Amino acid sequence: MTAPTPILELQHASKKFGRQHVLRDINLSLQRGETLVVIGESGCGKSVTMKLLIGLLQPTAGTALLEGRPLSDRSEREMARERQRFGYLFQGAALFDSLDVFENVAFPLRQNTVLPEQKIRTIVEERLLEVGLPVSVCRKKPAELSGGMKKRVGLARALSLVPEIMMYDEPTTGLDPIMSDVINSLILQTRARRPVTSIVVTHDMTTVKKVADRVVMFYPLSRLQPDEPQIIFEGTAEEAFSSSDPRVSQFVNGEAGERIQELAVA
C-alpha cells in the first residue's frame, strides 16, 4: 500500500545566512492530523525550520513541499492563498500594540476576507471564548494583558481563519506552570475540535509529554561532525525520555552532563 503524501515536507533542506549555516541536509515530513514536536538547544534551527515549511524563508539548498508540491513552484499570489491555511502562534504572541484585542483577532479576517462586520464580530468572540477569554477583553490593549492572556489572544488570532495547519513557536515560554498547562490543554483542545495538523517548537518537556505524537530533536551544527545528521532523534515522547543517546537524555532530563566542562573551557 502506498504511503500517504505528507502534508508538509523538507527534502535535503539546508539554510544559511551569509556564512552562518543553520540547517544542513534536513529531511523531515509531517502527516496530516499529526502533532510533531521539535526540540533542541537554542540556535539549532528549530524556528527556521518552521519558516521554511510555511514559505516565509526559502532553503539555500533542497526543497520545501506542501502536499507533495514544492513551495518554490507557486506564484506569490498562490503562496498568499496557501498561507491562509496556516495558523502561527508566535513566541511572544506578536500582538499589535496599537490595536485592541478585538482588532488583533479580527486582523486576519479583515486582511483575507470580505466578511460583513457582524460576522467578523461573531468569529472574534467565538475564538476568544474558545481560548478561555471573556468577550469583555475585546477593548483591552495588549499592554493591559498578562503574559498568559497575550498568548491566548495570539492563539485566538491564529485560529480566526480555521487553519488546517497550526504552528506553535515556544507556546509556553515565560509562563508559569499553571498557565503553561492551560496553553498545552488548548493545543489539545484545538486538535480535538477540528482536523488540524500541528508543529510545536518547545523547550518545555511537559509540553512534549502532553501533546506530541512524534518528537524530533535538532542539534547545533557547531557541535556536529561534517558527516553527522542534524536530527539526532526521531520517535515518541516516551522513546525520547528513555533514549540511550546522552545528548538526547541530557536535554530532555535537563542535565548539564559534559556541557559544564565545555563551558568551563570556553
Q: What is the structure's pLDDT at 175?
A: 86
Residue-level length of the chain: 266
CA-based radius of gyration for the chain: 19
Contacts (Cβ under 8 Å, ≥6 apart) of 8: 29, 30, 53, 64, 65, 66, 165, 197, 199
pLDDT along the chain (266 residues), means of 10: 86 92 94 95 90 91 94 88 89 88 95 93 95 94 92 94 93 89 92 91 94 95 90 96 93 75 55
The whole-number pLDDT of residue 246 equals 93
Q: Residue 227's pLDDT is what?
A: 87
- Beta-bridge partner residues of 16: 21
Numbers of helices and strands, H then E, in the chain: 10, 10
**Confidence at residue 263, expressed as pLDDT on a 0 to 100 scale:** 55
C-alpha cell recorded at residue 219? 542539534
Cell numbers for 102: 478585538
User: What's the rounded Cα separation, in Å, for the pair 111 and 128?
Assistant: 19
Q: Report the predicted TM-score, pTM, of the whole model to 2 decimal places.
A: 0.90
What is the rounded CA–CA span in Å between residue 151 and residue 173?
A: 10
Beta strands in the chain (DSSP E): 8-17, 20-30, 35-39, 61-66, 69-70, 86-89, 165-169, 197-201, 214-218, 231-235
Diameter over CA atoms, the chain = 63
pLDDT at 79: 86
